[in-house]
Amino acid sequence: MPEVKPQIEESWKTALEDEFNATYFAGLKNFLIEEKKQHTVFPPGFFIFNAFNQTPISRVRVVILGQDPYHGPGQAHGLSFSVPQGIAPPPSLKNIFKEIKEDTGNPLPTNGDLTRWARQGVLLLNATLTVRARTPGSHQGKGWETFTDAAITTISKTQDHVVFLLWGRYAKNKAHLIDPSKHLILQAAHPSPYSADKGFFGCRHFSKTNEWLESHAINTIDW
């Protein structure tokens, strides 16, 4: 099997070495090679591991789990729910900002780039790290979920007092990977317009996160 050399931050490369060397990951890589011959794939290759590159494992304080990258042109840059500066925030992100404003009093941000969160220790992790353009869910079941489940499990085992924000049924199904005796798991409806008023609005996850971090003498997040 050829050696896989992922462009990923060193602490994550070490922590997930077994995943990169696993048979399923070689299959995933081959799938992506063939997929890119026929279709546009988001995000661009250098952004696939952006969440890990922005947030080394020892700095993870919060995990926000998404499902797929955005599938529209220019939207996905490897951080769940985030879009680059200059791209209009999608509806779910608008609802996240609305809840933050109601919860913390922070003003609405001027752009949807959440890199500022990632650099504070918020791992913005999608369960699937790539997607075919305009085809949501197209790269599910190809191996990414095994990889990102391993990342969640690694955080749970090696770090202390991390807050996991699980929004929607898909994210909630990852709760079994997390040790609740060490970490705080907060669950709510997905911020999508289809479900935000069914338990996301009013969840106060952002202030609750900071209360937990502060209670364990960990720097809070500037949302």
Please state, in angstroms and as integers, the Cα–Cα distance from residue 1 to each residue in 6, 21, 25, 120, 202, following that order: 15, 9, 11, 37, 50
CB within 8 Å of 25: residues ≥ 6 apart: 4, 19, 143, 147
- The gap from C-alpha 33 to its chain's centroid, in whole angstroms, comes to 23
Active site residues: 68
pLDDT digits 0-9 by tens, 104-134: 999 999 999 999 999 999 999 999 999 999 9
Question: For 130-141, b where at least 16 C-beta lie within 10 A, e where not — what string?
Answer: bbbeeeeebbee
pTM: 0.97
Distances (CA, A) of 125 to 23, 37, 110, 121, 161: 22, 26, 22, 12, 18
Return the pLDDT at 5.
Answer: 65
Tell me: pLDDT of 164 over 50. yes
- Given pLDDT bands bounded at 50, 70 and 90, which one contains residue 2? very low
Strand 41-42 and strand 131-132: the pairing is antiparallel
Q: From CA 127, how far away is CA 217, in angstroms rounded? A: 29
Say how far apart CA 212 and CA 29 lie, in whole Å: 38
The pair of structure tokens assigned to 67 is 């499902």
Furthest C-alpha separation in the chain: 53
pLDDT 10s digits, 63-82: 999 999 999 999 999 999 99
Distance, in Å, from the CA atom of 222 to the CA atom of 206, rounded to the nearest integer, reads 10
Mean of all residue pLDDT scores within the chain? 96
d(C-alpha 154, C-alpha 152), whole Å: 5
| Residue range 23-60, pLDDT digits in tens | 999 999 999 999 999 999 999 999 999 999 999 999 99
Model confidence at 6, in pLDDT bands (50, 70, 90)?
confident
Alpha-carbon span 223 to 93, nearest angstrom: 13
End-to-end alpha-carbon separation of the chain, Å? 44
